[in-house]
C-alpha cells in the first residue's frame, strides 16, 4: 500500500487515503516542502477551512479543528485512467440509500429550484424524488409510487434547513401522493424569475 508521499508523487496503487487522525504537522513531516497556511481560505458545504499549501498540494483543515479533512493534489498522467475507473466504481457504490443520506441532501441542495413566478422547473433526484417550485411553494412527489407522509415531512425539513425557505412553511397533502410545501415569503421578498 502506498503512503502519502508516494501517492502525491504518482503511485496511487493501493493508496486508501489519509490515516484517521492525521494532523497538519503529520502532513508537514511526511511531505517536506515550503508550506504556507492561509486561515479561512476556502468554504465547502457551508464550512470554513484553512488551507496549507506547498507547490500543487493543498491540505484542507476545518477552521477551529486540528485534524486534516483532505489532502488534494493533481493526478499524474499515468494515474488518470486508473483514477477515472476507480471513481466510476466508487460513484456506483456510493449512491444515496435514504432521503436523509448526506449524499442525497447534497444532491437536493444542488438541484433545488428557487420559488419563482412563471413555468415551474421540475427536477428529479437519484432516489426518484421529484421537486418543482412555484411562486410560493414547492411540490414534492415520487417518480414512481407515492411519498409517505413521513418522507414528505423529512424532505420539507431538509428544504427548510438548506435555507431555501425564507419564512414559515406548511406541508399540505395533494393529489396522487404529491405534497405542497407552502412558503410564507416576507412582504419585501420577490420570487426569482
Calpha distance 18→57 (Å, rounded) = 14
Q: What percent of the chain has pLDDT over 90?
A: 4
- In this prediction, residue 77 has a pLDDT band, given cuts at 50, 70 and 90, of very low
Residue-averaged pLDDT of the chain: 76
Percentage of the chain lying above the pLDDT 70 cut:
72
Give the per-residue pLDDT at 191: 46
21-49: average pLDDT: 83
Decide if pLDDT at 51 tops 60.
Answer: yes
pLDDT of residue 95: 57
pLDDT at 193: 45
Q: What is the mean pLDDT of residues 177-184?
A: 84
Residues sharing a CB contact under 8 Å with residue 183, sequence separation 6 or more, in sequence order: 115, 136, 137, 138, 165, 166, 167, 169
pLDDT of residue 26: 87
Instruction: Answer with the residue of higher pLDDT: 3 or 65.
Output: 65
| Mean pLDDT within 66-77 | 73
pLDDT in tens, 92-133: 445 566 888 888 888 888 888 777 777 777 888 888 889 888
**Residue 193 has what DSSP assignment?**
-
Tell me the three-class secondary structure of the chain, residue by residue.
Answer: CCCHHHHHCCCCCCCCCCCCCCEHHHHHHHCCCCCEEEEEEEEECCEEEEEEEECCEEEEEECCCCECCEEECCCCHHHHHHHHHHHHHHHHHCCCCCCCCHHHHHHHHHHCCCCECCCCEEEECCCCEEEEECCCEEEEEECCCCCCHHHHHHHHHHHHHCCCCCCCEEEEECHHHCEEEEECCCCCCCCEC
Amino acid at each position: 500500500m502506498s503512503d502519502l508521499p508516494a501517492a502525491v508523487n504518482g503511485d496511487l496503487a493501493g493508496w486508501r487515503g489519509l490515516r484517521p487522525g492525521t494532523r497538519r504537522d503529520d502532513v508537514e513531516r511526511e511531505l517536506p516542502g515550503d508550506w504556507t497556511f492561509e486561515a479561512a481560505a476556502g468554504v465547502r458545504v457551508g464550512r470554513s477551512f484553512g488551507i496549507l499549501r506547498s507547490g500543487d498540494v493543498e491540505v484542507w483543515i476545518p477552521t477551529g479543528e486540528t485534524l486534516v479533512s483532505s489532502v488534494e493534489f493533481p493526478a499524474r498522467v499515468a494515474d488518470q485512467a486508473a483514477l477515472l475507473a476507480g471513481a466510476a466504481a466508487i460513484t456506483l457504490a456510493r449512491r444515496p440509500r435514504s432521503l436523509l443520506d448526506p449524499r442525497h441532501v447534497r444532491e437536493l441542495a444542488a438541484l433545488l429550484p428557487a420559488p419563482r413566478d412563471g413555468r415551474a422547473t421540475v427536477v428529479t433526484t437519484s432516489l426518484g424524488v421529484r421537486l418543482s417550485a412555484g411562486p410560493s411553494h414547492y411540490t414534492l412527489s415520487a417518480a414512481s409510487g407515492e411519498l409517505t407522509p413521513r418522507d414528505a415531512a423529512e424532505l420539507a425539513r431538509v428544504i427548510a434547513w438548506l435555507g431555501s425557505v425564507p419564512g414559515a412553511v406548511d406541508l399540505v397533502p395533494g393529489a396522487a401522493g404529491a405534497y405542497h410545501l407552502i412558503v410564507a415569503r416576507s412582504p419585501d421578498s420577490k420570487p426569482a424569475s
